[in-house]
Structure 1
Protein backbone atom coordinates (compact mmCIF):
# COMPACT_ATOMS: atom_id res chain seq x y z
CA UNK A 1 0.00 0.00 0.00
CA UNK A 2 2.75 2.47 0.98
CA UNK A 3 4.80 1.42 -2.05
CA UNK A 4 1.82 2.21 -4.28
CA UNK A 5 1.39 5.65 -2.67
CA UNK A 6 5.09 6.43 -3.13
CA UNK A 7 4.96 5.26 -6.74
CA UNK A 8 1.81 7.33 -7.40
CA UNK A 9 3.40 10.41 -5.77
CA UNK A 10 6.47 9.97 -7.96
CA UNK A 11 4.38 9.70 -11.10
CA UNK A 12 2.35 12.80 -10.18
CA UNK A 13 5.54 14.77 -9.46
CA UNK A 14 6.98 13.70 -12.82
CA UNK A 15 3.81 14.77 -14.66
CA UNK A 16 3.78 18.16 -12.93
CA UNK A 17 7.49 18.59 -13.64
CA UNK A 18 7.00 17.81 -17.34
CA UNK A 19 4.05 20.20 -17.47
CA UNK A 20 6.41 22.99 -16.47
CA UNK A 21 8.53 22.21 -19.52
CA UNK A 22 5.72 22.78 -21.98
CA UNK A 23 5.37 25.96 -23.98
CA UNK A 24 2.85 28.51 -22.78
CA UNK A 25 2.12 29.55 -26.36
CA UNK A 26 -0.79 27.90 -28.05
CA UNK A 27 -1.25 27.51 -31.74
CA UNK A 28 -4.81 27.88 -32.96
CA UNK A 29 -5.62 25.23 -35.52
CA UNK A 30 -9.37 25.69 -35.27
CA UNK A 31 -9.61 21.93 -34.76
CA UNK A 32 -11.50 20.37 -31.93
CA UNK A 33 -9.56 18.14 -29.56
CA UNK A 34 -10.13 14.40 -29.76
CA UNK A 35 -12.05 14.44 -26.46
CA UNK A 36 -14.27 17.26 -27.78
CA UNK A 37 -14.96 15.28 -30.95
CA UNK A 38 -15.82 12.14 -28.95
CA UNK A 39 -18.15 14.14 -26.68
CA UNK A 40 -19.78 15.76 -29.72
CA UNK A 41 -20.21 12.39 -31.44
CA UNK A 42 -21.78 10.83 -28.35
CA UNK A 43 -24.12 13.79 -27.90
CA UNK A 44 -25.16 13.72 -31.55
CA UNK A 45 -25.84 9.99 -31.27
CA UNK A 46 -28.03 10.56 -28.19
CA UNK A 47 -29.91 13.37 -29.93
CA UNK A 48 -30.34 11.32 -33.10
CA UNK A 49 -31.85 8.43 -31.13
CA UNK A 50 -34.36 10.85 -29.57
CA UNK A 51 -35.40 12.23 -32.97
CA UNK A 52 -34.92 9.20 -35.26
CA UNK A 53 -37.90 8.64 -37.60
CA UNK A 54 -39.62 11.86 -36.54
CA UNK A 55 -41.53 12.86 -39.68
CA UNK A 56 -40.66 15.98 -41.64
CA UNK A 57 -43.12 18.83 -41.36
CA UNK A 58 -42.44 22.28 -42.80
CA UNK A 59 -42.53 24.72 -39.89
CA UNK A 60 -42.63 21.82 -37.42
CA UNK A 61 -40.69 21.98 -34.17
CA UNK A 62 -41.70 18.86 -32.23
CA UNK A 63 -41.60 15.06 -32.29
CA UNK A 64 -44.90 15.10 -34.20
CA UNK A 65 -43.06 16.73 -37.11
CA UNK A 66 -39.97 18.87 -37.59
CA UNK A 67 -38.23 20.69 -40.41
CA UNK A 68 -34.49 20.75 -41.05
CA UNK A 69 -33.61 24.04 -39.36
CA UNK A 70 -35.75 23.29 -36.29
CA UNK A 71 -34.05 19.89 -35.99
CA UNK A 72 -30.59 21.52 -36.07
CA UNK A 73 -31.70 24.25 -33.65
CA UNK A 74 -33.16 21.73 -31.18
CA UNK A 75 -30.16 19.35 -31.33
CA UNK A 76 -27.74 22.19 -30.59
CA UNK A 77 -29.94 23.69 -27.85
CA UNK A 78 -30.74 20.40 -26.11
CA UNK A 79 -27.45 18.62 -26.67
CA UNK A 80 -24.89 21.42 -26.43
CA UNK A 81 -26.73 24.42 -24.92
CA UNK A 82 -25.86 26.35 -28.08
CA UNK A 83 -28.59 28.62 -29.39
CA UNK A 84 -28.82 28.89 -33.16
CA UNK A 85 -31.26 30.90 -35.29
CA UNK A 86 -34.53 29.17 -36.20
CA UNK A 87 -34.16 29.43 -39.98
CA UNK A 88 -31.76 27.82 -42.42
CA UNK A 89 -30.79 31.26 -43.74
CA UNK A 90 -30.00 32.45 -40.20
CA UNK A 91 -28.02 29.29 -39.43
CA UNK A 92 -26.06 29.70 -42.68
CA UNK A 93 -24.58 32.89 -41.21
CA UNK A 94 -23.67 31.44 -37.79
CA UNK A 95 -20.11 30.52 -36.86
CA UNK A 96 -17.34 30.47 -39.44
CA UNK A 97 -17.37 29.13 -42.97
CA UNK A 98 -15.14 26.10 -43.56
CA UNK A 99 -14.30 23.97 -46.58
CA UNK A 100 -15.77 20.53 -47.14
CA UNK A 101 -12.42 18.88 -46.43
CA UNK A 102 -12.27 20.62 -43.02
CA UNK A 103 -15.52 19.05 -41.80
CA UNK A 104 -15.51 17.75 -38.25
CA UNK A 105 -18.18 16.16 -36.10
CA UNK A 106 -20.82 18.76 -35.23
CA UNK A 107 -20.26 21.12 -38.16
CA UNK A 108 -23.28 22.35 -40.08
CA UNK A 109 -23.70 21.36 -43.73
CA UNK A 110 -25.88 23.40 -46.09
CA UNK A 111 -27.44 22.59 -49.42
CA UNK A 112 -29.19 24.55 -52.17
CA UNK A 113 -32.04 22.17 -52.91
CA UNK A 114 -34.50 24.57 -54.48
CA UNK A 115 -37.18 23.15 -52.14
CA UNK A 116 -38.87 24.64 -49.11
CA UNK A 117 -39.56 28.29 -48.35
CA UNK A 118 -36.07 29.49 -49.33
CA UNK A 119 -34.58 26.61 -51.29
CA UNK A 120 -32.01 25.72 -48.62
CA UNK A 121 -31.49 22.65 -46.44
CA UNK A 122 -29.28 22.09 -43.37
CA UNK A 123 -27.90 19.09 -41.51
CA UNK A 124 -25.24 18.23 -38.93
CA UNK A 125 -22.04 16.48 -40.00
CA UNK A 126 -21.39 13.31 -37.98
CA UNK A 127 -18.34 11.54 -39.43
CA UNK A 128 -16.96 9.69 -42.44
CA UNK A 129 -19.04 11.68 -44.91
CA UNK A 130 -22.37 11.20 -43.10
CA UNK A 131 -24.74 13.78 -41.66
CA UNK A 132 -28.04 13.80 -39.80
CA UNK A 133 -30.96 15.93 -40.89
CA UNK A 134 -34.71 16.14 -41.23
CA UNK A 135 -35.31 14.81 -44.73
CA UNK A 136 -38.52 15.81 -46.50
CA UNK A 137 -39.05 12.19 -47.60
CA UNK A 138 -37.63 10.16 -44.68
CA UNK A 139 -37.94 12.43 -41.65
CA UNK A 140 -34.96 12.54 -39.27
CA UNK A 141 -32.32 10.29 -40.78
CA UNK A 142 -28.65 9.76 -41.68
CA UNK A 143 -27.47 10.55 -45.22
CA UNK A 144 -24.16 10.50 -47.06
CA UNK A 145 -22.50 13.58 -48.51
CA UNK A 146 -21.19 11.19 -51.18
CA UNK A 147 -24.71 10.49 -52.43
CA UNK A 148 -24.97 11.95 -55.94
CA UNK A 149 -27.90 14.20 -54.98
CA UNK A 150 -26.23 15.69 -51.88
CA UNK A 151 -22.95 16.11 -53.79
CA UNK A 152 -24.74 18.06 -56.49
CA UNK A 153 -26.60 20.43 -54.14
CA UNK A 154 -23.89 20.93 -51.46
CA UNK A 155 -23.50 24.65 -50.79
CA UNK A 156 -21.34 25.31 -47.72
CA UNK A 157 -20.25 24.14 -44.28
CA UNK A 158 -19.99 26.13 -41.06
CA UNK A 159 -18.42 25.56 -37.65
CA UNK A 160 -20.34 26.97 -34.68
Structure 2
Protein backbone atom coordinates (compact mmCIF):
# COMPACT_ATOMS: atom_id res chain seq x y z
CA UNK A 1 0.00 0.00 0.00
CA UNK A 2 1.40 3.34 -1.08
CA UNK A 3 0.53 6.55 0.74
CA UNK A 4 0.38 9.88 -1.02
CA UNK A 5 2.84 12.53 0.00
CA UNK A 6 1.44 14.90 2.61
CA UNK A 7 0.22 18.23 1.37
CA UNK A 8 2.11 21.14 2.87
CA UNK A 9 -0.06 23.79 4.43
CA UNK A 10 1.42 27.27 4.79
CA UNK A 11 1.78 28.45 8.39
CA UNK A 12 0.17 31.80 7.66
CA UNK A 13 -2.13 33.07 4.99
CA UNK A 14 -0.76 35.18 2.21
CA UNK A 15 -1.43 38.91 2.47
CA UNK A 16 -3.13 38.79 -0.93
CA UNK A 17 -5.82 36.23 -0.10
CA UNK A 18 -9.40 37.22 0.45
CA UNK A 19 -11.85 35.56 2.83
CA UNK A 20 -14.43 34.31 0.33
CA UNK A 21 -16.53 32.78 3.12
CA UNK A 22 -16.89 36.22 4.73
CA UNK A 23 -17.98 37.65 1.38
CA UNK A 24 -20.53 34.85 1.00
CA UNK A 25 -22.04 35.47 4.45
CA UNK A 26 -22.08 39.24 3.82
CA UNK A 27 -23.95 38.68 0.55
CA UNK A 28 -26.43 36.36 2.29
CA UNK A 29 -26.99 38.97 5.03
CA UNK A 30 -27.53 41.67 2.43
CA UNK A 31 -30.11 39.56 0.59
CA UNK A 32 -31.85 38.73 3.88
CA UNK A 33 -32.05 42.40 4.90
CA UNK A 34 -33.42 43.44 1.51
CA UNK A 35 -35.88 40.54 1.57
CA UNK A 36 -37.20 41.31 5.06
CA UNK A 37 -37.58 45.00 4.24
CA UNK A 38 -39.42 44.11 1.03
CA UNK A 39 -41.82 41.97 3.08
CA UNK A 40 -42.48 44.95 5.36
CA UNK A 41 -43.69 47.30 2.63
CA UNK A 42 -47.43 47.62 2.71
CA UNK A 43 -49.61 50.16 0.95
CA UNK A 44 -53.26 50.62 1.70
CA UNK A 45 -55.77 53.28 0.73
CA UNK A 46 -57.66 54.92 3.56
CA UNK A 47 -60.03 57.75 2.76
CA UNK A 48 -58.71 57.92 -0.79
CA UNK A 49 -55.14 58.54 0.43
CA UNK A 50 -52.37 55.94 0.01
CA UNK A 51 -50.87 55.01 3.38
CA UNK A 52 -47.53 53.23 3.78
CA UNK A 53 -47.59 50.63 6.53
CA UNK A 54 -45.47 47.86 7.94
CA UNK A 55 -47.17 44.86 6.36
CA UNK A 56 -45.69 42.44 8.90
CA UNK A 57 -46.93 44.38 11.93
CA UNK A 58 -50.33 42.69 11.89
CA UNK A 59 -48.66 39.26 11.95
CA UNK A 60 -48.69 37.85 15.50
CA UNK A 61 -45.20 36.36 15.09
CA UNK A 62 -43.62 39.59 13.90
CA UNK A 63 -41.77 40.38 17.16
CA UNK A 64 -40.18 36.92 17.35
CA UNK A 65 -39.38 37.03 13.64
CA UNK A 66 -37.74 40.46 13.98
CA UNK A 67 -35.50 39.14 16.76
CA UNK A 68 -34.51 36.14 14.64
CA UNK A 69 -33.98 38.21 11.48
CA UNK A 70 -31.47 40.68 12.94
CA UNK A 71 -28.91 40.44 10.13
CA UNK A 72 -27.54 43.98 10.32
CA UNK A 73 -25.21 43.44 13.32
CA UNK A 74 -23.63 40.42 11.63
CA UNK A 75 -23.43 42.34 8.35
CA UNK A 76 -21.60 45.26 10.02
CA UNK A 77 -19.23 43.00 11.99
CA UNK A 78 -18.27 41.12 8.83
CA UNK A 79 -17.93 44.41 6.95
CA UNK A 80 -15.55 45.66 9.63
CA UNK A 81 -13.54 42.45 9.39
CA UNK A 82 -13.35 42.73 5.59
CA UNK A 83 -12.33 46.39 5.82
CA UNK A 84 -9.63 45.62 8.43
CA UNK A 85 -8.12 42.85 6.32
CA UNK A 86 -8.22 45.08 3.24
CA UNK A 87 -6.54 47.87 5.22
CA UNK A 88 -3.75 45.49 6.31
CA UNK A 89 -3.19 44.43 2.69
CA UNK A 90 -2.92 47.99 1.34
CA UNK A 91 -0.74 49.09 4.28
CA UNK A 92 1.64 46.25 3.39
CA UNK A 93 1.91 47.80 -0.09
CA UNK A 94 2.82 51.18 1.42
CA UNK A 95 -0.51 53.02 1.19
CA UNK A 96 -0.86 55.71 3.87
CA UNK A 97 -3.87 55.72 6.22
CA UNK A 98 -5.14 59.02 4.78
CA UNK A 99 -4.88 57.68 1.23
CA UNK A 100 -6.79 54.56 2.30
CA UNK A 101 -9.60 56.63 3.85
CA UNK A 102 -9.72 58.95 0.82
CA UNK A 103 -9.94 55.99 -1.57
CA UNK A 104 -12.72 54.35 0.48
CA UNK A 105 -14.71 57.59 0.67
CA UNK A 106 -14.39 58.18 -3.08
CA UNK A 107 -15.59 54.64 -3.69
CA UNK A 108 -18.39 54.44 -1.11
CA UNK A 109 -19.90 57.94 -0.91
CA UNK A 110 -21.28 58.42 -4.45
CA UNK A 111 -24.04 55.78 -4.04
CA UNK A 112 -25.66 57.20 -0.85
CA UNK A 113 -25.23 60.76 -2.09
CA UNK A 114 -26.92 59.88 -5.37
CA UNK A 115 -29.73 58.16 -3.48
CA UNK A 116 -30.21 61.10 -1.09
CA UNK A 117 -30.08 63.74 -3.82
CA UNK A 118 -33.55 63.38 -5.39
CA UNK A 119 -35.46 63.31 -2.07
CA UNK A 120 -33.49 66.32 -0.82
CA UNK A 121 -34.19 68.27 -4.01
CA UNK A 122 -37.84 67.26 -3.81
CA UNK A 123 -38.13 68.47 -0.19
CA UNK A 124 -36.33 71.71 -1.03
CA UNK A 125 -38.75 72.23 -3.90
CA UNK A 126 -41.72 71.74 -1.56
CA UNK A 127 -40.22 74.11 0.96
CA UNK A 128 -39.61 76.79 -1.67
CA UNK A 129 -43.31 76.58 -2.63
CA UNK A 130 -44.31 77.13 1.00
CA UNK A 131 -45.21 73.53 1.81
CA UNK A 132 -44.01 71.96 5.03
CA UNK A 133 -42.45 68.51 4.86
CA UNK A 134 -43.46 66.42 7.87
CA UNK A 135 -43.30 62.80 8.80
CA UNK A 136 -46.48 60.88 8.14
CA UNK A 137 -48.50 59.14 10.86
CA UNK A 138 -50.59 56.08 10.28
CA UNK A 139 -54.30 56.71 10.40
CA UNK A 140 -56.11 55.23 13.37
CA UNK A 141 -53.42 56.00 15.97
CA UNK A 142 -49.94 54.76 16.57
CA UNK A 143 -46.82 55.61 14.68
CA UNK A 144 -45.67 54.04 11.47
CA UNK A 145 -42.51 51.98 11.52
CA UNK A 146 -40.65 53.19 8.42
CA UNK A 147 -37.22 52.03 9.53
CA UNK A 148 -38.22 48.55 10.57
CA UNK A 149 -35.94 48.76 13.61
CA UNK A 150 -36.78 46.97 16.81
CA UNK A 151 -36.91 50.17 18.88
CA UNK A 152 -39.44 51.78 16.59
CA UNK A 153 -41.40 48.51 16.46
CA UNK A 154 -41.71 48.43 20.25
CA UNK A 155 -42.57 52.14 20.47
CA UNK A 156 -45.20 51.68 17.76
CA UNK A 157 -46.67 48.69 19.59
CA UNK A 158 -46.71 50.53 22.92
CA UNK A 159 -48.55 53.50 21.45
CA UNK A 160 -51.20 51.22 19.91
CA UNK A 161 -52.14 49.46 23.17
Instruction: Identify whether the pair has TM-score above 0.5, normalized to the shorter chain.
Output: no
Larger proportion of helix: 2
* The structure with more radius of gyration: 2
Normalization by structure 2: what TM-score?
0.26
